[in-house]
């Protein structure tokens, strides 16, 4: 239960960060609060869009899905349901792999780091780890009979 | 459990509030400067290639941007050889200096001033081929004058043009046109008026241009 609550809280924070980056990308926010780092440089690079869609929007969708599935998984009837644990692990694995790709682009192609992107990467990695732990500790026997 | 939902609301309010209020009070880039559109003189960019080419590619670029430099030095020579020199494509260069780059607008000005002496593409090549200036953070004015000398510009005319910011209006107009077309990053390309969303490689341009040329026969 605690693990799943942590996933929901982390997904909520990730959702807010991704929404912030997406609002900047579509011009609603004029400037990013970056401090040290190269947020605008990363956000204005060609790699900040995939098929014409801002990468941050994929983040919004990903975190929102994790948040909703995590909330569903907190309901008493789904707490021990292995399908929820599997869904969360699959979603988080997609997110983690995408995060690895984006971080590699920052480090090896752009040679620049956006601290919001690093924050999102840390959040997604933590969610991924928690979902794997949850998957390992949710007994298969708890799955409903087929 | 109820305490958990209260925690969620608190997290949403605190984190959302910090992000939202932290970003307010900062001017949007578009509103920081007056718009000297009248100074744009109807100029629509320097071109390479035949006027009768079936396809026109418009590139929005920033001289300080590393991807633009990579494109100009790796892909563009092949594109010039295979698409422009063969008469298939007319290439149009538009300025889109990003606000995050300290000297990109100055570099665009230097190139425009070289263009005034019919040497835009020579300066374009100098700026992109010797791109170390974009990494040092040092004022490149003296280096750009060296480039100007190297390509044979009349240096007095070049100085007068750059110091007087003669083509600042053109550059701003180009940025505005790019923004209106949906340009967000650099380099961005429009092929036959449509935003090009493929990989910025000579192979992908060649494939698209060949397919467009066939449909326009």
pLDDT tens readout for residues A12-26: 999 999 998 888 777
Q: Determine the distance in angstroms separating the CA of B160 from the nearest CA of chain A, rounded to an integer.
A: 32
Q: Determine the distance in angstroms separating the CA of B110 from the nearest CA of chain A, rounded to an integer.
A: 23
pLDDT at site A78 = 86
Range B4-8 contact pairs with CB under 8 angstroms and sequence separation of 24 or more: B4/A5, B4/A74, B7/A9, B8/A8, B8/A9, B8/A12
Q: What does each C-alpha distance from B6 to A2, A65, A69, B12, B60 come to in angstroms?
A: 15, 20, 19, 10, 48
**A44 touching B, CB under 8 A?**
yes
Mutate one of B5, B14, B19, B65 to test the A interface: name it (highest A CB count within 10 A). B19
User: How many C-beta atoms lie closer than 10 Å to residue B16's C-beta?
Assistant: 16
pLDDT at site B177 = 92
Whole-model pTM above 0.80? no
Helix (H) or strand (E) holding B60: strand B55-61
DSSP A16: H
Return d(Cα B148, Cα B114) in angstroms, integer.
7
pLDDT at site B32 = 37
For B41-70, letters b (16+ CB in 10 Å) and e give eebebbbbbeeebbbbbbbbbbbbbbbbbb
Return d(Cα B142, Cα B145) in angstroms, integer.
5
B12 neighbourhood in chain A, CB within 8 Å: 12, 16
B66 neighbourhood in chain A, CB within 8 Å: 110-111
Return d(Cα B167, Cα B155) in angstroms, integer.
17
Q: Do B185 and A41 touch (CB under 8 A)?
A: no
B residues 18-47 near A, CB within 8 Å?
19, 22-23, 26-29, 31
Q: What residues in chain B have per-residue pLDDT under 70?
A: 1, 23-40, 216-217
pLDDT at site B30 = 34
Q: Mind listing the pLDDT tens digit for each residue in A41-72?
A: 677 677 888 887 889 999 999 999 999 999 99
pLDDT at site B35 = 40
**Considering chain A, what percentage of its residues have pLDDT values greater than 70?**
86
| Contact status, residue B130 vs residue B118, Cβ threshold 8 Å | no
pLDDT at site A28 = 73
B100 neighbourhood in chain A, CB within 8 Å: 38, 40-41, 44
DSSP A107: I
User: Which residue in B has a C-alpha nearest to residue A53's C-alpha?
Assistant: B197
Q: Mind listing the pLDDT tens digit for each residue in A76-120?
A: 888 888 899 999 999 999 999 999 999 998 888 777 778 888 999
Return d(Cα B179, Cα B174) in angstroms, integer.
9
Q: Do B15 and A16 touch (CB under 8 A)?
A: yes
pLDDT at site B15 = 86
Res. A36 pLDDT band, cuts 50 70 90: low
Strands A53-54 vs B55-61: parallel, antiparallel or unpaired: unpaired
How much of chain B is in helix, strand and coil states, percent to nearest 5?
55, 10, 35
Q: Do B11 and A48 touch (CB under 8 A)?
A: no
User: Which residue in A has a C-alpha nearest to residue B64's C-alpha?
Assistant: A41
A41 neighbourhood in chain B, CB within 8 Å: 100
Return d(Cα B172, Cα B41) in angstroms, integer.
11
Return d(Cα B94, Cα B117) in angstroms, integer.
18
Q: What angle do CA A49, A51, A57 make, to 5 degrees?
A: 50
**Considering chain A, what percentage of its residues have pLDDT values greater than 90?**
47
**A35 touching B, CB under 8 A?**
no
Write the DSSP string, B67-135. Answer: HHHHIIIIIHHHHIIIIITTTSEEEEEEE---TT-SSHHHHHHHHHHHHHTT-HHHHHHHHHHTTTHHH
B184 neighbourhood in chain A, CB within 8 Å: 25, 44, 48-49
């Amino acid at each position: 239960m605690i693990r799943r609550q942590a996933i929901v809280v982390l997904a909520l924070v990730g959702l807010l960060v991704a929404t912030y980056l997406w609002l900047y990308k579509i011009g609603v926010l004029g400037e990013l609060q970056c401090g040290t780092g190269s947020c605008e440089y990363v956000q204005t690079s060609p790699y900040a869009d995939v098929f014409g869609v801002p990468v941050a929007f994929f983040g919004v969708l990903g975190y929102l899905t994790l948040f909703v599935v995590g909330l569903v998984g907190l309901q008493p009837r789904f707490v021990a349901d292995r399908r929820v644990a599997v869904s969360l692990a699959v979603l988080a694995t997609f997110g983690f792999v995408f995060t690895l790709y984006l971080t590699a682009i920052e480090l090896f192609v752009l040679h620049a780091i956006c601290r919001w992107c690093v924050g999102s990467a840390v959040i997604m990695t933590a969610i991924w780890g928690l979902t794997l732990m949850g998957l390992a500790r949710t007994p298969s026997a708890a799955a409903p009979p087929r | 459990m109820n305490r958990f939902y209260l925690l969620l609301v608190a997290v949403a309010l605190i984190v959302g509030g910090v992000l939202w209020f932290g970003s307010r009070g900062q001017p949007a880039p578009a509103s920081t400067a007056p718009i000297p559109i009248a100074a744009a003189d109807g100029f629509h960019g320097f071109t390479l290639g035949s006027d009768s080419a079936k396809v026109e590619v418009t590139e929005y670029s920033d001289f300080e941007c590393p991807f633009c430099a990579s494109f100009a030095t790796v892909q563009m020579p092949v594109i010039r050889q295979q698409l422009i020199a063969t008469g298939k494509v007319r290439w149009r260069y538009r300025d889109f200096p990003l606000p995050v780059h300290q000297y990109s607008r100055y570099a665009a000005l230097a190139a425009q001033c070289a263009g005034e002496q019919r040497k835009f593409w020579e300066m374009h090549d100098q700026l992109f081929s010797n791109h170390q200036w974009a990494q040092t953070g040092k004022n490149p004015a003296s280096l750009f004058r060296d480039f100007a000398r190297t390509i044979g510009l009349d240096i007095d005319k070049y100085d007068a043009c750059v110091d007087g910011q003669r083509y600042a209006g053109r550059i701003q107009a180009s940025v505005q046109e790019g923004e209106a077309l949906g340009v967000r990053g650099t380099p961005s390309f429009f092929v036959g008026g449509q935003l090009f969303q493929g990989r910025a490689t000579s192979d992908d341009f060649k494939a698209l241009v060949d397919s467009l040329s066939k449909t326009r026969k």
